[in-house]
């Protein structure tokens, strides 16, 4: 089914009998370099109609570059692509779309000022006989499209910019579904979806497979790849290193394929300062969701915040960091009451935040890695009216080494780094401000298992030095891997605090559903 340019797993098995004809798409010897840096090395890939292929790999492995080549966003330096046995070479994304290729990117591209229906029909709005836009037909078609991808709850008339990230992602998927693609490429499509939305989306993907579409599913969530895909292909350093059937492999084997080593992170027991309370929260409420939150976090502790979507994790961090002001209650930092009017005050008092969603709230994409890392510590290290550029370079060099940020130079745009390295640069920003309390909101969102393990190492190492860490996460395995204790939130209320010895996935999830 898939020619080899690297070692492969065992024979595909009985399921391969479904695919008896020639592959729908055949890519051979695909190579691509940027500024002399080879990103893809002679990649061979076959895709069958009516098949879901999971594409796994660390950030920077070449997954997105390969997909851009297949969809027309980039042209390969070498190699050939055939569809239905005929050679193709797309000169643009529009040419790829005309040939039946739809690419749903991880980065959202909805037009926020337009309605959902207008976004779904952008460039192809239905017209009445008089040539005017047929809004009634457009709304009807939009409802059907949204229902098809498990997003029937979204109002087609709603302004797209008012939707949360997961709903915008579903709009992007519905837009692709409208084209009835022959090749559907999905890049981290579930990263912002709720479990319920994932179920509806998976139903659509299986429906598209049954209709004969070839589907490439890029994900860092190995459980999803194992449950949804017919095959799983792993890219490492620009080359395919394995192709496996989900029923004939394991999560551990896929991690080893992706990283070259087992990347399993285990909790590290540490001695904690049980007498010093770094953060105390009493009766904290906001004007929308949180109600009467009480908790203490000890110096040097890694303290978890867990909850389902809408539980209030981010809202609680925003109150602590001064993004929003509490309606009631108080916050104390190392025994002193604090009341911040904005995040800059919190930073000056030693509280830094790594926000959720690096693309939207974390990075300044057009600025350099160094500028992104230094922005929170400009006042601390400036010389009068001028910033200490030499000092910034020195500190950046230190954190580049200690955090393992892989880049050519710190003056390159941060957008040119892989997702995992962008996240490390945001960690560098938080640490360069020399915090006493580090707040992390979904700190490993959208990064691969290798980068996730490295970020866990960074958090544990800083805690061992005495830094207090509060980490909000929607992933129970992440909480179990890192946290000394965890506060479980349920619809804005504190369901309870679980000590390390009592932490189990069942107990944490049961508490998370307490108010549901």
The CA distance from 239 to 156, in Å, is 42
DSSP string computed for 382-412:
-BTTB--HHHHHHHHHHHHHHHT---S-TTS
In a domain, 126, yes or no: no
At 326, list the tokens. Answer: 């509490």
What confidence category does residue 228 fall into, taking pLDDT thresholds of 50, 70 and 90?
very high
In a domain, 213, yes or no: yes
| Tens of pLDDT, residues 478-494 | 899 999 999 999 989 99
In a domain, 513, yes or no: no
- 124, pLDDT greater than 60: yes
Task: Note whether 259 and 85 are within 8 A (CB).
Answer: no
The CA distance from 507 to 486, in Å, is 11
Q: What percent of the chain has pLDDT over 70?
A: 90
Task: Note whether 171 and 116 are within 8 A (CB).
Answer: yes
Q: Distance of CA 468 to CAs 210, 299, 344, 354, Å?
A: 51, 5, 19, 14
The DSSP bridge pattern shows strands 51-56 and 231-236 to be parallel
**Who contacts 54 (Cβ-Cβ below 8 Å, separation ≥6)?**
217, 218, 219, 225, 228, 229, 231, 232, 233, 246
Task: Note whether 452 and 255 are within 8 A (CB).
Answer: no
- 380, pLDDT greater than 80: no
In a domain, 247, yes or no: yes
C-alpha closest to that of 278 among 306, 244, 254, 301 = 301
C-alpha closest to that of 455 among 474, 433, 431, 476 = 431
What confidence category does residue 84 fall into, taking pLDDT thresholds of 50, 70 and 90?
very high
| Tens of pLDDT, residues 33-67 | 987 888 999 999 999 999 999 999 877 788 989 99
Which one has a higher pLDDT value, 154 or 5? 154
Task: Note whether 328 and 430 are within 8 A (CB).
Answer: no
Which one has a higher pLDDT value, 35 or 280? 280
Strand order in the sheet with 437-441: 351-354, 437-441, 468-473, 302-306, 485-490, 493-499
Task: Note whether 451 and 485 are within 8 A (CB).
Answer: no
In a domain, 470, yes or no: no
- 456, pLDDT greater than 80: yes
At 402, list the tokens. Answer: 């200690």
Strand order in the sheet with 51-56: 101-104, 183-187, 214-218, 51-56, 231-236, 239-244
Q: Which of 41-50, 225-234, 357-366, 466-475 has the lowest mean pLDDT?
A: 357-366
Domain boundaries, position 84: 17-109+166-259
The CA distance from 421 to 393, in Å, is 17
Number of domains in the chain: 1
C-alpha closest to that of 379 among 369, 364, 367, 391 = 391
What confidence category does residue 126 fall into, taking pLDDT thresholds of 50, 70 and 90?
confident
The CA distance from 119 to 161, in Å, is 10
In a domain, 365, yes or no: no
The CA distance from 23 to 34, in Å, is 29
DSSP 288: S
Question: What CATH number is associated with residue 67?
Answer: 3.40.50.300
Kindly report the length of the chain. Answer: 516
Q: For residues 280-284, give the mean pLDDT.
A: 97
In a domain, 274, yes or no: no
Contacts of the segment 248-251: beta carbons below 8 A, 24+ positions apart:
248/9, 248/10, 248/13, 249/9, 251/222, 251/223, 251/226
The CA distance from 60 to 481, in Å, is 24
Task: Note whether 94 and 270 are within 8 A (CB).
Answer: no
- 178, pLDDT greater than 60: yes
- For helices 135-148 and 165-178, what crossing angle results, to 10°? 110
Task: Note whether 337 and 330 are within 8 A (CB).
Answer: yes
- 9, pLDDT greater than 50: no
- Whether the CA torsion 239, 241, 246, 251 is positive or negative: it is negative
In a domain, 84, yes or no: yes
The tokens 């598209």 sit on which residue?
A: 208
């Amino acid at each position: 089914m898939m020619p080899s340019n690297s070692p492969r797993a065992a024979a595909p098995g009985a399921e391969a009998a479904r695919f008896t004809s020639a592959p729908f798409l055949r890519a051979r010897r695909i190579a691509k370099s940027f500024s002399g840096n080879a990103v893809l090395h002679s990649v061979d890939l076959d895709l069958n109609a009516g098949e879901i292929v999971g594409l796994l790999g660390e950030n920077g492995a070449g997954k997105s570059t390969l997909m851009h080549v297949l969809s027309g966003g980039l042209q390969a330096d070498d190699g050939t692509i055939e569809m239905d046995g005929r050679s193709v070479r797309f000169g643009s994304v529009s040419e790829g779309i005309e040939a039946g290729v739809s690419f749903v990117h991880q980065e959202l591209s909805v037009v926020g000022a337009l309605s959902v229906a207008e976004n779904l029909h952008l460039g192809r709005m239905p017209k009445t006989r008089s040539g005017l836009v047929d809004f009634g037909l457009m709304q009807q078609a939009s409802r059907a499209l949204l229902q098809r991808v498990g997003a029937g709850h979204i109002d087609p008339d709603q302004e797209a910019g008012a939707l949360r990230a997961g709903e915008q992602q579903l709009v992007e998927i519905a837009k692709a579904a409208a084209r009835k693609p022959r090749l559907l490429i999905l890049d981290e499509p579930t990263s912002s979806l709720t479990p319920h939305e994932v179920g509806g989306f998976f139903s659509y993907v299986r429906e598209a497979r049954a209709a004969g579409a070839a589907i490439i599913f890029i994900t860092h969530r190995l459980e999803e790849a194992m449950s949804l895909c017919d095959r799983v292909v792993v890219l490492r350093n620009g080359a395919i290193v394995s192709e496996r059937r989900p029923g004939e492999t394991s999560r551990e084997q896929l991690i080893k394929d992706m990283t070259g080593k087992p990347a399993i992170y285990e909790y590290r027991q540490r001695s904690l300062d049980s007498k010093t309370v770094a953060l105390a929260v009493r009766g904290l409420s906001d004007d929308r969701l949180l109600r009467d939150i009480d908790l203490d976090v000890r110096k040097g502790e890694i303290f978890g915040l867990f909850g389902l979507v809408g539980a209030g994790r981010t809202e609680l961090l925003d109150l602590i960091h001064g993004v929003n002001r509490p309606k009631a209650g108080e916050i104390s930092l190392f025994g002193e009451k604090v009341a911040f009017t904005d995040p800059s005050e919190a930073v000056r008092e030693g509280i830094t935040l790594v926000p959720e969603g690096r693309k939207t709230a974390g990075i300044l994409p057009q600025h350099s890695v160094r500028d992104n890392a230094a922005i929170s510590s400009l006042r601390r290290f400036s010389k009068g009216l001028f910033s200490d550029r030499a000092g910034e370079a020195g500190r950046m060099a230190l954190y580049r080494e200690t955090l393992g940020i892989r880049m050519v130079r710190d003056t390159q745009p941060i957008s040119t780094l892989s997702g995992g390295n962008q996240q490390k640069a945001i960690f560098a920003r938080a640490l360069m401000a020399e915090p006493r309390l580090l707040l992390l909101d979904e700190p490993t969102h959208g990064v691969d298992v290798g980068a996730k393990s490295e970020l866990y190492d960074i958090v544990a190492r800083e805690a061992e030095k005495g830094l207090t860490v509060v980490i909000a996460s929607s992933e129970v395995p992440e909480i179990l891997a890192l946290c000394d204790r965890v506060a479980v939130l349920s619809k804005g209320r504190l369901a309870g605090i679980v000590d390390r010895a009592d932490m189990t996935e069942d107990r944490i999830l049961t508490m998370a559903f307490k108010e549901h």
